Each structure stands twice: as C-alpha cells, then as structure tokens.
Amino acid sequence: AQSVTQLDSQVPVFEEAPVELRCNYSSSVSVYLFWYVQYPNQGLQLLLKYLSGSTLVESINGFEAEFNKSQTSFHLRKPSVHISDTAEYFCNSGGYQKVTFGTGTKLQVIP
Amino acid sequence: EPEVTQTPSHQVTQMGQEVILRCVPISNHLYFYWYRQILGQKVEFLVSFYNNEISEKSEIFDDQFSVERPDGSNFTLKIRSTKLEDSAMYFCARRTQGHNSPLHFGNGTRLTVT
C-alpha cells in the first residue's frame, strides 16, 4: 500500500520568498502522487498531479513538484510566494476505495 | 471540471436530531466519498461508495451514519442521532476513474450540533 509523510506541520515564509513543502512517499508498486490545497473555509482542490512521464509537474499558479524516485519524494515548491498562497497543503498518493489524507502542511505567508 | 455542489452550506441542529447532508455530483461518476474535518484538525475519511454500494468505511462511520444515492443523482450522508462531537465540516468528493485519478471536492457543509 502507498502512504505519504509530510514532515512539516507549519511553514512560515515571507512574501516573495521561495518555499518548499516536503512530501515523502513509500510504495512498492506504481506511484501516483497528488498535491491538494485547502483555502480557508473551502474544500480541497487539486493543485497538481504526477501519474507518469515528466518528473516535473507544474500548476497554473506557479507551484511545481518533482517526482524523485531515488529519494522517494514529491516536494512542492514555489520560487516566490504570495499572500494568497496562505493555505493548507496536502500530499496524497491516490488509492482505491479508501483515499486518506495526512496531517497536511499549513503555509503561512508573512507580509 | 464541473463542481460538486453540497447543501446546505451550514446546518445547525440539536443533539439527538437526525441530519441529512446532500451532495450533487455529475451522474456519470462512479466513485463518491465523504470526509469529515473537525475544526483545526485533519481531513478524515468516512466512507467510499462505488457502483451504488459502500466499498470502504472507516471506524468513524458507525451505525449512526448511512449513505445512499436514492435517485441516481444526489448522494446523501445521514447522521441518525447527532452528538456534540459530530460538529465538523463534511466534504463530499467524487472521481471519474480509479486510483490514478484525483478527487474533486465540494465546498462542504458546516454541521453545528448544539
């Protein structure tokens, strides 16, 4: 079975600074990885996904994540954060019927 | 992709009362899920529903909970006798395919039990 670990529960960062949110996975079979974002008072939204092919995937709002098989990681990065990026971010490894989410990482962008 | 619509957005009920939370996904989706998020805590899996049957449920999903898709469109979560600790955000999610496709969430129903 697949599982993910997000080591950082909270990440404070100043506006316009770069950020990296860490996610490590463990799996012995095919890997499907997703990042979701939850803005205050909203449901989770898909940010980006890795299914196969290029190991670098990008979202429309400047985030990117790189699938690294040797390090079993799928870290989320953005070179310059904005106040509006303040949210909680969840890494997820898909699943069949029971799709679970970890504790998430709260990104706090400081003006 | 089209959104998932959840109603109501906020439900206030007294302890012991029954509540029904509704989700309106697109009719051709096969996989549906309910999640719960207590304020400030993680998103917890409750139940998954595939091909009009419960396929997996968590230990939270006890006899007080039930799900159904009565008319092939609406997907409902019923809590028979609410408790104070049922106060939370409840999210419905859907997916079109199997384990390599993402979930699409509604904006949730905030349930407050007094």
Query: Could you report the average pLDDT of every consecutive run of 10 residues in chain A (111 residues)?
Result: 83 98 80 90 91 88 93 95 96 82 92 95
Least confidently predicted of A75-84, B40-49, B68-77: B68-77
Q: Of the candidates B42, B56, B104, which has its C-beta nearest A103's C-beta?
A: B42
Average pLDDT of every residue of chain B:
89
pLDDT, residue B28, reads: 65
Q: Of the candidates A44, A51, A98, which has its C-beta nearest B45's C-beta?
A: A98
Number of domains, chain A: 1
Our measurement of the distance from residue B46's CA atom to the centroid of its chain's CA atoms, rounded to an integer in Å, reads 8
Helix (H, G, I), strand (E, B) or coil at A95: coil
Asked whether the CA dihedral B69, B73, B78, B84 is positive or negative, the reply is positive
pLDDT, residue A93, reads: 84
Q: Of the candidates B31, B33, B107, which has its C-beta nearest A42's C-beta?
A: B107
pLDDT, residue A80, reads: 97
pLDDT, residue B19, reads: 97
Number of domains, chain B: 1
DSSP H helical segments within A1-111, as ranges? Answer: none
Q: Nearest residue of B to residue A37 by CA position?
A: B105
Cβ separation of B100 and A51 shorter than 8 Å?
yes
The three-state (H, E, C) secondary structure of A33-60, written as one string: EEEEEECCCCCEEEEEEECCCCCEEECC
Q: Of the candidates B48, B55, B100, which has its C-beta nearest A94's C-beta?
A: B100
Q: Quick check: B105 contacting A, CB < 8 Å? A: yes
Query: What's the CATH code of the domain at A75?
Result: 2.60.40.10
Going by pLDDT thresholds of 50, 70 and 90, the confidence category of residue B35 is very high
Q: How many CB pairs under 8 A join A and B?
A: 59
Q: Nearest residue of B to residue A105 by CA position?
A: B42
Q: From the candidates A98, A103, A106, which should be mutated to test the interface with B, based on the most B CB atoms within 10 A? A: A98
Query: What's the CATH code of the domain at B27?
Result: 2.60.40.10
pLDDT, residue A41, reads: 82
Q: Quick check: A29 contacting B, CB < 8 Å? A: no
Q: Nearest residue of A to residue B48 by CA position?
A: A97
Q: How close A26 gets to chain B, by Cα (Å)?
A: 16
Q: Which domain holds residue B21?
A: 5-113
Average pLDDT over residues B73-85: 93
